[in-house]
Structure 1
Amino acid sequence: MTLSVAIEMAGVAVFAVSGALAAGRKSLDLLGVVVIAMVTATGGGTLRDLMLDRTVFWIARPEFIIVTGIAALLTIPYVRFARPPERFLMVADALGLALFSVAGARIALGTGQGALIAVVMGTITGAFGGVLRDVLCNEIPMILRKGHIYATASIAGCSLLVILLGLGVSGGVAAAAGMATVAVMRFGSIAFNLTLPVFNLPGPKDPEA
């Protein structure tokens, strides 16, 4: 198993957990939990592979589907009998974002893409599954919530990965640094409510003012 596959396998498992938690909060049935978990875990990687004209990763390696199902099914008893802490979903999502972003960027580089495309593909891989999860659960996607550091963290981690690889740093060290960057930025946003500046367009002036 290559490093990229191992990272993506871990990302699939963590994102499946976040999908199952989101489905549990909406009181979905067993099938609903598994579907949301599957969509969350595979959505970003599927879009990435279609855009890169690759065989979709879970078709090429069906064990990804097995890992997703196991992670979702193991989460169900916990969701059913114990209410997770309010921020537990965000923590699971942050871990999935870190793992998937770096895996996506590495895969794009492995197909011969340049640094910019690698960063874009890493961000898509990390963020798109969560977007699908939130849309299906009738929530505002985290990537669109006002001021949240989400895609920014993915961009920063993928950019660091690309820079370190360009400087000749080993793949394992570069991947670890990239994942740590994404995770630290996302956890910092969650723990300290860090946000990006918000752009507000002033409304029309009151002609009577």
Structure 2
Amino acid sequence: MDPVLFLDYCGVAVFAAAGALAASRKQMDIIGFLFLAGATGVGGGTFRDLIMGVPVFWMVNHDYVLIWTATAILVFFTAHRVESRYKLLLWLDALGLAAFAVMGAAKGLSVTGSPIIAIIMGVLTATFGGILRDLLAGEPSVLLRPEVYITAAVGGASVYTLGELAGMPLLFCQLGGFLVAFVIRGGAIRFGWRIPRYKSRPGRRPEDIP
């Protein structure tokens, strides 16, 4: 199997598993599992393809539908065996983010030829599914959490894109982008890495700012 396609399949599977785990935390029925698994697994890629005006990937290759469906059913019957579903969700989300940062950048670069657009597409592909999952599940959005999230996707997509532009071997670019994104996001989960946040001037509350 093409390693690029394999990585894409893995990304859909782990993101779908994260969506299904979110459904288990809300004690949804099997339809809720399928819906959240699908939205999380292919939401980012769907948004990317619509923006670029290309055929939506899972409508062209129905294997993706089978992957998110099988993953949702598997999690439905096994989620209760997991001691900490939230922690597993975070790590699955990190794996999916790393894979999709690379895949989104690769598709953006192949369609547009622009490195800037490639990085943006990598970030959208990697993060939109998680944002959609949290919105649908009523969880605090990943965008509002203090630890690094989008920055990890930017790092992975940038490393892949720069490697491609430098003429590096494709596998090296893919692994490099994946590892950078996963290490950054994994460090945020494990060690609480975060970037500085905006703070109001002393003596002024945020609600007092016009």
TM over 0.5: yes
Cα separation, 1, equivalents of 2:204 and 2:198 = 18
Give the TM-score taking structure 1 as reference length. 0.93
Q: Does 1:9 align with 2:21?
A: no
CA distance, structure 2, for counterparts of residue 31 and residue 205 of structure 1: 47
Q: Helix, strand or coil: the match of 2:198?
A: coil
Aligned residues between the structures: 205
Kindly provide the CA deviation profile for residues 3-22 of structure 1, in whole angstroms up to 9, marking residues without a partner as x: 33221111000001000101
More helix by share: 2
Unpaired stretches in structure 1, ≥5 consecutive residues: none
In the TM superposition, what are the counterparts of 1:163-178 in structure 2 within 5 Å? Answer: 163-178=162-177
Could you report, residue by residue, the CA deviation over 1:94-123 in whole angstroms, capped at 9, with x for unpaired residues? Answer: 000001110010011111331010000000
Q: Which amino acid aligns with 1:196?
A: I
Is 1:98–1:183's contact at 8 Å kept on the other side of the alignment? Answer: yes
**2-structure distance, mates of 1:87, 1:205:** 36
How many Å apart are 1:65 and its aligned residue?
0.4
The residue that corresponds to 2:139 in the other structure is: 139
Query: Structure 2 CA distance, aligned partners of 1:181 and 1:165?
Result: 15
Query: Counterpart of 1:50 in structure 2: which amino acid?
Result: L
**Any idea what SS the aligned residue of 2:143 has?**
helix
TM-score scaled to structure 2, two decimals?
A: 0.93
- SS for the counterpart of 2:112 is coil
**Residue 115 of structure 1: aligned partner:** 115
Matches within 5 A, 1:13-52: 13-52=13-52
Q: Give me the whole-angstrom Cα distance separating, in 1, the residues matched to 2:115 and 2:9.
A: 23
- For residue 205 of structure 1, report the CA deviation from its aligned partner: 5.1
Q: Within 2, Cα distance between the matches of 1:115 and 1:122? A: 10
Residue identity opposite 1:45 in structure 2: G
Residue 21 of structure 2 contacts residue 85 of structure 2 at CA under 8 Å; is this kept in 1?
A: no
Matched residue type, 2:187 = G
Point out the more displaced range, 74-83 or 60-69.
74-83
Give the equivalent residue in structure 1 for 2:182: 183
Q: Distance in 1 between matches of 2:113 and 2:3?
A: 18
2:208 is matched with none
The alpha-carbon deviation at position 79 of structure 1 amounts to: 1.1
Q: Secondary structure at the match of 1:96?
A: helix
- Relative to structure 1, is the Cα distance of residues 64 and 205 closer, same or farther in structure 2, using a 3 angstrom cutoff? closer
Q: Kindly indicate whether residue 45 of structure 2 is the aligned counterpart of residue 53 of structure 1.
A: no
Deviation at 1:162? 1.1
* Cross-structure match for 1:63: 63
Distance in 1 separating the partners of 2:16 and 2:38: 6
Extract structure 1 runs of 4+ deviating beyond 6 A: none
- Measured in 2, the distance between the counterparts of 1:163 and 1:205 equals 43
Residue aligning to 2:149: 150
Identity among equivalent positions (%) equals 34
Alignment of 1:80-119 (within 5 A): 80-119=80-119
Query: What SS does structure 2 have at the residue aligned with 1:66?
Result: helix
